[in-house]
Structure 1
């Protein structure tokens, strides 16, 4: 079954180049191209689209906000393909449901492969993006765990506590750490058992202050 795809980028040359590259794959059908996020969202609301390939910085509605709208309101899966690797874009893209995040210097074959993998139900983030996520989590852990006895917890439990302190729900934690929601619940249960706490809000307060 073919992959019905749209792409949005405000740079005409990049947009048309991507269309040509993607059209070389017999399984990918480029339905439409757009120069802003709003038109991409409107199209997915009214048409069957499997994959939306979005740049981050676009007029009217940027790629991150378009990701949020498309993920919340349609079955379309979003892959962000951009020149921007700032932490905030990556974090928000993940939070709003992006299934892939690639930089535009990625080899065309890798882009095509990513589209196929996401269509099959996988999440794909290239190494540079994963490293930024990992570094961000590590930095937050180092910055916020001075109030508690780290030896009581595994590294993964500390990462979950950081995420809870940041206000993430289980679904967002699962996306951020690339684990299942069930695994997140298991880590939270373990944290409860080790601390005697009963609510996730208590975990956040304990993590930030060291007080139960």
Structure 2
């Protein structure tokens, strides 16, 4: 069964280009192309959509707000498309529950692999974006300092958080730690419970920056 996608971007060149690229892969079915976040939210509310690929900056409703509404009202997984100068939006998207963060200049194969990973349950954020977020947070005096209290976590939990921050999937973590995928999932559930976070990408940002979003 194909992964059902929508593409939301106010730049018709980007929108049509992504459609052409993703439609060449048999794993995907592009259901519709829309111009803004408002259209994306309405479509997801009324149709069965697996992944909404959202630009950050769009008229009427940006990708950050669209992410929140899609997460709150549908089962669709939002994935943010971004550029290097959009990092101020990414923390909001993380807080709102986006499952992936991709740079627009990625190779088609990398976009394909990332979307498949999101579909199968792994949150994706590129190393480049994590580095920019860490730098941005360190220079933002308005962000409250929240340091990781290692006493809250077991050695195994800290190891798993480190692997998540490096972008490893549950399967890859299980292989490196010689435990089952189910055990990894249980550890992640425990980490989320201890931190009050909602998903893996928030764990990665928390581990790398010491900030809770």
TM-score range, shorter chain: 0.5 to 0.7
Equivalent positions of 1:31-42 (< 5 A) are 31-42=31-42
- Matched with 2:149 is 157
Matches of 2:130 and 2:110 in 1, distance apart?
16
Report if aligned partners of 2:56, 2:86 keep a CA contact under 8 Å in 1.
Answer: no
Report if aligned partners of 2:84, 2:129 keep a CA contact under 8 Å in 1.
Answer: no
Q: Cα offset for 1:82?
A: 2.0
Unaligned ranges ≥5, structure 2? 153-160, 166-186, 197-213
Is 1:103 matched with 2:103? yes
Quickly say closer, same or farther: Cα 1:122–1:184, change in 2 above 3 A: closer
Matches of 1:89 and 1:187 in 2, distance apart?
22
- Matched with 1:122 is 122
Q: Cα offset for 1:87?
A: 3.6
Is 1:21 matched with 2:24? no
Whose Rg is larger? 1
Matches of 2:60 and 2:144 in 1, distance apart?
37
1:90-141 deviations in Å (ceiling 9; x for gaps): 1001000100011111111111111100000000011111112333555679
- Matched with 1:64 is 64
Quickly say closer, same or farther: Cα 1:60–1:180, change in 2 above 3 A: same
How large is the RMSD of aligned CA atoms in angstroms? 2.9
Unaligned ranges ≥5, structure 1? 146-154, 161-173, 189-212
Quickly say closer, same or farther: Cα 1:115–1:184, change in 2 above 3 A: closer
Report if aligned partners of 1:157, 1:187 keep a CA contact under 8 Å in 2.
Answer: no
Matches of 2:140 and 2:149 in 1, distance apart?
13
Task: Give SS of 2:26's match.
Answer: coil
Count of aligned pairs: 163
Relative to the length of structure 2, the TM-score reads 0.68
1:146-174 deviations in Å (ceiling 9; x for gaps): xxxxxxxxx6318x9xxxxxxxxxxxxx9
